[in-house]
Amino acid sequence: MTSEKSNRVWRLAARPTGNEFDTALRLEEEATPVPQVGELLVKNRILSMDSGTRMYMTDRKDSYQPGTPLGAPILGTVIGEVAQSRHPAYAEGDLVRCYGNWADWSIATPETLYTAKLDGKEPNLAEYVGILGANGWTAYLGVVEYGAARAGETFLVSAAAGCTGSMAGQIAKIAGCRAVGLAGTDDKCTFLKNDLDFDDAINYRKGALVDSIAASCPDGINLYFDNVGGDVLDAALSNMADFGRVAVCGLLANYSAEGPVPGPYKFDLVLMKRLTVQGFFSPDFYHREPEINPVLRQWRDDGRLKLPIEETVGLENTIAAYTKLFIGANIGKVVVRV
Ligand X SMILES: NC(=O)c1ccc[n+]([C@@H]2O[C@H](COP(=O)([O-])OP(=O)(O)OC[C@H]3O[C@@H](n4cnc5c(N)ncnc54)[C@H](OP(=O)(O)O)[C@@H]3O)[C@@H](O)[C@H]2O)c1
Helices (H), 61-162: 134-141
130 Cβ contact list (under 8 Å, min separation 6): 136, 163, 307, 309, 332, 333, 335
325 forms part of the interface with ligand X (CB under 6 A)? yes
183 forms part of the interface with ligand X (CB under 6 A)? yes
Rounded Cα–Cα distance for residues 46 and 248 (Å): 28
Provide the strand spans (E) within 102-145. Answer: 105-108, 116-117
Interacting span for ligand X (CB under 6 A) from 183-191, 206-214, 266-274, 288-296: 183-191
The one among 172, 330, 336, 338 contacting ligand X by CB under 6 A: 330
Q: Which of residues 100-139 bind ligand X (CB under 6 A)?
A: 134-135, 138
Size of the site for ligand X (CB under 6 A): 30
Nearer to ligand X, 42 or 228 (CB): 228
Rounded Cα–Cα distance for residues 69 and 46 (Å): 24
The one among 103, 156, 161, 296 contacting ligand X by CB under 6 A: 161
Rounded Cα–Cα distance for residues 269 and 210 (Å): 14
Q: Which of residues 228-247 bind ligand X (CB under 6 A)?
A: 228, 232
Smallest gap from Cβ 95 to ligand X, in A, equals 22
CA angle centred on 328, ends 12 and 67, rounded to 5°:
25
H or E stretch covering 325: helix 318-327
Binding mask 14-43 for ligand X (x = CB under 6 A): ------------------------------
Residue in 233, 200, 194 with CA at minimum distance from that of residue 216:
200
- The secondary structure of 137-151 as a DSSP string is HHHHHIIIIIS---T
162 forms part of the interface with ligand X (CB under 6 A)? yes
The Cβ of residue 11 has, within 10 Å, a number of other Cβ atoms equal to 19
76 forms part of the interface with ligand X (CB under 6 A)? no
Interacting span for ligand X (CB under 6 A) from 6-14, 149-157, 181-189, 288-296: 181-189
Alpha carbon 147 to chain centroid distance?
17
Smallest gap from Cβ 29 to ligand X, in A, equals 28
Interacting span for ligand X (CB under 6 A) from 90-98, 264-272, 275-283, 289-297: 275-283
Smallest gap from Cβ 27 to ligand X, in A, equals 22
* Tally of CA atoms within 13 A in the half-sphere of 231 that contains its CB: 6
Burial class (CB in 10 A: 0-12, 13-18, 19+), 278: middle
Smallest gap from Cβ 116 to ligand X, in A, equals 17
Nearer to ligand X, 86 or 193 (CB): 193
Judged by the rule CB under 6 A, the positions of this chain that interact with ligand X are: 50-52, 134-135, 138, 159, 161-165, 183-185, 188, 227-228, 232, 249-250, 252-253, 280-282, 325-326, 328, 330
